[in-house]
A and B are shown apart, each in its own frame.
Chain A
């Protein structure tokens, strides 16, 4: 968005993927969440696997898509299990799936495994879009470059930088990946987008989407998500 004017807070919605992924989130919570976000142009809402078709039903007739997750957020699952989850998400009609990678392989320098895993997942996914999570928070610059290279070789062209839950992304991470891979990799930022200024800095660095659980705060709206109100009460 370098050539364009800086978006105003209210114009940020089309860049934001709003998520409600927690162990105790129920259909009732998601229903309230959908009511919360309905007036805003968020392109996608992220929920855990069991809620995909049900959420699609709730969103029917609108433009919002359903994002889901695999091996999230810790990345400890095997390729076989991730493939099964991808298959499930595909069959239930999710638009995209954010997959935590095998960080043990990455930190051990085994980028062939990363490439093979992502190829398996992309092959399994069909029209479902696979978004890989390299978890930049725990990677060196060299590892960031090598994992992106492995993802491209495996056929994955979109990354979500980190998984949130305390794992953060810095503007420099986006700048580095953009410098090395340019338009070849689409960058969704997650982890640490809390305010309007965070969001603008990430977009200016080349991010195309922002994942945040505090979308209203980012858009400087004086309201809270129903689920978060419940949490803090």
Chain B
């Protein structure tokens, strides 16, 4: 069964997570997101005020990428970063988790981090990034369970700075967190086949910088 064009567009977080070097690039992203009806525009905190000023009233969320891309600092700093981004206009928050804590089996630290993130995010959609390529299956599973217990909204696969999402990762994450939480697949989603495979595997959101070309490919295949 084919998805509706607008439903497909609404899975996409239109993403700019290279080193920010151009206001024009942020503006282009915002205009495209409004045009296609993407879920959000995802940028770094320094670009949140501009994105928020452009997206107000469009229905497109302002998604901010926090902790990028190494995620290696303490929960109180991450909570502060989350609150700061929301004050500046972010409506969805994607945070890189403390991967090292998982590697050291410091699940208490991850729990504290996720709980403080939830609290700091308030009513905003909160997504925790696992950086799955660095984790073993049981480490991913454990992180997913902690995210579920902390009441986050999404578990997200990758920052895009290392190996990206895989179908098995998305399936595994979804099997643990659904239906309470959703899964965002990100990193390496370049083609329509990549995107559809992630959605088939159970992803509800796609983090990609290829949004415009994905829409073009969608129209070519399914006739808009």
Contact = CB atoms under 8 A, between A and B. Distances in A.
- Counting contact residues on chain B (CB < 8 A from A), the size range is 20 to 34
Interface stretch (B3-11, B28-36, B97-105, B179-187): B97-105
B107 interface: no
A107 B44 CA distance: 15
Given A24-B134, A81-B80, A103 B70 contact: no
Interface in A93-129: 102-108
Interface in A52-102: 72-78, 80-81, 84-85, 88, 102
Interface residues of A, number: 32
Contacts of A78: 45-46, 84-85, 88
Contacts, number: 103
B101 to A, nearest CB: 8
A84 B77 contact: yes
Contacts of B81: 77, 81, 84
A105 B46 contact: yes
A26 B23 contact: no
Given A23-B71, A104-B22, A49 B77 contact: yes
Contacts of A81: 45, 77, 80-81, 84
A74 B100 contact: no
A104 B23 contact: yes
B62 to A, nearest CB: 14
A15 B21 CA distance: 31
**Most-contacted residue by chain A among B44, B65, B71, B96 (CB, 10 A):** B44
Contact of A76 (B20, B71, B77, B99): B20
Contacts of A26: 100, 103-104
B68 A74 contact: yes
A94 to B, nearest CB: 12
Interface in B150-174: 162
B19 interface: yes
B122 interface: no
B131 interface: yes
Interface string A4-31: 0000000000000000011111111000
A24 B131 CA distance: 10
B217 to A, nearest CB: 29
Sort A-B residue pairs by CB-CB distance and give the 8 closest, nearest first.
A76-B44, A48-B72, A107-B21, A104-B20, A49-B73, A23-B99, A26-B104, A24-B134
Interface of A: 21-28, 48-50, 72-78, 80-81, 84-85, 88, 102-108, 135, 138
Interface of B: 17, 19-23, 43-47, 65, 68-74, 77, 80-81, 84-85, 88, 96, 98-100, 103-104, 131, 134, 162
